[in-house]
Amino acid sequence: MKQRILLGRGALLALAVLFIGMVVLSTWLLRGWRLDLTENRLYTIAPGTQHIIAELKEPVNLYYYWSGKTAGEYPALKTYGTRVREFLQELAARSKGKLRLSIIDPEPFSEDEDRAAERGVHGVPIGVNGETFYFGLAGTNSTDGHEAIAFFDPAKEEFLEYDIAKLIYQLGRARKPVVGWLSSLPMNGGYDPATGQGRDPWYVYTQAQQLFAVKDLTPALTQIDPDIDVLVLVHPKSLPEPALEAIDQFALRGGRLLVFVDPLAEQDPGAGNPEMPFGVAGADRGSQLGGLLTAWGVEFKPREVVGDLSYGMSVSMRAGDPPLRHIAILGLDATSLDAKDIVTSGLGNINLATAGYLEPRKGASTTFTPLLQSSKLAGTLPVERFAMLMDPATLQDGFKPTGERYTFAARITGAVKSAFPKGAGPLRESAKPLNLIVIADTDLLSDYLWLRDAPASFFGPRAKQAWAHNGDLVWNALDNLAGSNDLISVRGRASFARPFERVEALRRDAEGRLRAKEHELEQQLSATEDKLTTLQSKRADQSGVILTPEQEAEIERFEAEKLRIRKELRDVRLGLNQDIRRLGSELKILNIVVVPAIFALLALGIATWRRKRQAAILLVQRTQRP
């Protein structure tokens, strides 16, 4: 008996040791193995991100600043912070040592807190006590380069992978992207002959010079250098054919373009009078780009301006005049912007002036994705309506919205053919897919539409203060286009937060079905109470007719009906979530009973199969013995 007990204990001990050994061995053998079963592949790294990491020549150091202790009081932030940490750990695990991740929880007044600020990660006050909360990422490389995401905005969770991949890409590249800039508008400042004074450079242009290596191009160009990553065309007008052919060849090489066209460019120096904001009669202030837009699958009508009753802004045409509503100077809000595209996501408002519209060309081989659109209370106006315009209210005379949404900006991608099939260039069709963003307004680049002078400060010169996101739109577009093809391919992922869609659908269905019954019962109850009140008032009225036994019975019947309706009404209200409770019970049974039972049966089946297989092998071995 003791021997059996000892053998049993020994077997249990051996099984425990075997189990621990299998866990350790599986952990070592299956290191790096991951299986993503989430619906939207939330934990699967995009191929573009993987390629960016694989192309790193030298290691990149990542510093994840995360106030984990403080986040415990805020479940939503804690969940998102865990999501960011797990994603960074996933990247580091797959990088083969090229990404070195450090997770830091900065204590108040510590060296870590000082170093976070030096690296560009800034804490924000949170809670009633104003505790500093850190939730950002900094990165450095071996050449003292540094990039940072100052704070992970939960509202931009869909672009988490893009933002991190962009940071890694910027640290891994050896130079700033080169942007070729061709404009017929005086964006770089200079002398203004109309006023006899110097002009300041446009702010959007000076900021682009800080973010990128900008090369100014002229209409006399005959080719575009291969080192140019992005080509910017602002109000192309009367470009000679050699320049158009050079742009065409750049596009066919897979070049990335940001193009601004306009039916009525207010800042066009070649026409108009500075006293007349929208020009004089007969002045041509529209953009022309030959047949290039058509070849790229885009239709642009240079003689039509979009008016919008919903987004029209109040403006003063001249100093001292009261503001008037102008249906062609538009203040778009977030509902007009594509929230799924990285260029427009997170932007709040964009201001346009006398903008045109874009349409996909029928039969085009490219993909046309709207980025900025009008409301449905929009229509078109001929550019002639703006000649000598003194009263913007007159634009509404005869204006009829079409009910359509007009596209002000679009992303165009895909293979294209040359607009000059008999030209001198070597390419006749795309060697690489085209990446193009077209915006049908140039005035949005003007300082006055999105910047104002900040109040004077004792600490420095008067600064610019943005009151719209026009500049962010341009810089986002350049930043996106200047990235590698891998970075461009990393689009917004689905949100990590998973709502109970089936539960919400059941709730909506129950509410729709039961609220109608509830309303019907409430009407019956109200009618019954009215009749009951009328009959009982007769009973209380001594001067009235004495109620007959039938009327007394009617009162009793109405009282019983009232109780019945109230009970049924309570049952309906209690039954509002009945389907949801039933679904919860089904899920509990599924998770607690069915799934474990399936795995148990699967394990028994595998064990039985292995036992039979081993028995068959032993039988073969025995029969083969001499």
β-pairing, 434-439 with 451-453? unpaired
Give the pLDDT band (50/70/90) at residue 515.
low
Q: How many angstroms separate the CA atoms of 489 and 471, rounded?
A: 23
Give the mean model confidence (pLDDT) for residues 584-594: 74
DSSP 37: -
Q: Which residue has the higher pLDDT, 603 or 403?
A: 403
Give me the pLDDT at residue 181, please. Answer: 97
Give the pLDDT band (50/70/90) at residue 619.
confident
The answer, yes or no, to whether residue 588 has pLDDT greater than 80, is no
Q: Which residues lie across from 181 on neighbouring strands?
A: 216, 232
Give the pLDDT band (50/70/90) at residue 187.
very high
DSSP assignments along 326-390, one per residue: EEEEEEE-GGGB-TTSTTTTT---EEEES---EEEPTT-SSEEEEEEE--SSEEEEEGGGGTT--
Give the pLDDT band (50/70/90) at residue 399.
very high
- % of the chain at pLDDT higher than 70: 74
Give the pLDDT band (50/70/90) at residue 273.
very low
Give the pLDDT band (50/70/90) at residue 103.
very high
Give the mean model confidence (pLDDT) for residues 133-139: 94
Give the pLDDT band (50/70/90) at residue 148.
very high
Average pLDDT, the chain: 81
At residue 505, φ and ψ (nearest 5 deg) are -65, -40
Give the pLDDT band (50/70/90) at residue 541.
low
Give the pLDDT band (50/70/90) at residue 338.
very high
Task: Let me know how long the chain is.
Answer: 626
The answer, yes or no, to whether residue 319 has pLDDT greater than 80, is no
Q: How many angstroms separate the CA atoms of 41 and 43, rounded?
A: 6
Using left for φ > 0, alpha for ψ between -120 and 50, and beta otherwise, residue 97 falls in left
Contact 86, 43 (CB under 8 A): yes
Q: Which residues lie across from 276 on neighbouring strands?
A: 273
The answer, yes or no, to whether residue 544 has pLDDT greater than 80, is no
Q: How many angstroms separate the CA atoms of 374 and 332, rounded?
A: 8
Q: How many angstroms separate the CA atoms of 18 and 15, rounded?
A: 5
Q: Which residue has the higher pLDDT, 390 or 232?
A: 232
Residue found under tokens 């003791």: 2
- Residues 6 or more apart in contact with residue 310 via CB below 8 angstroms: 374, 375, 376, 377, 378
Give the pLDDT band (50/70/90) at residue 605.
confident
Give the mean model confidence (pLDDT) for residues 348-353: 93
Give me the pLDDT at residue 24, please. Answer: 62
Longest dimension (CA), the chain: 122
Give me the pLDDT at residue 355, please. Answer: 97
Give the pLDDT band (50/70/90) at residue 274.
very low
Q: How many angstroms separate the CA atoms of 573 and 525, rounded?
A: 15
3-state helix, strand, coil in the chain (%, to 5): 40, 20, 40
Q: How many angstroms separate the CA atoms of 541 and 533, rounded?
A: 12
Signed CA dihedral, 425, 429, 432, 437: sign only = positive
The least confident of 245-259, 442-456, 558-572 is 558-572
- Is the whole model's pTM more than 0.85, yes or no? no
Q: How many angstroms separate the CA atoms of 18 and 22, rounded?
A: 6
Q: Which residue has the higher pLDDT, 243 or 518?
A: 243
The answer, yes or no, to whether residue 492 has pLDDT greater than 50, is no
Q: How many angstroms separate the CA atoms of 149 and 155, rounded?
A: 14
Give the mean model confidence (pLDDT) for residues 451-479: 73
Contact 448, 271 (CB under 8 A): no
The answer, yes or no, to whether residue 275 has pLDDT greater than 50, is no
CA 475 to chain centre: 16
Joined together, the tokens standing for residue 367 give 């993909």
In angstroms, the Cα distances linking 451 to 122, 355, 454 are 25, 19, 9
The answer, yes or no, to whether residue 279 has pLDDT greater than 50, is no
In angstroms, the Cα distances linking 558 to 532, 536, 540, 569 are 6, 11, 17, 16
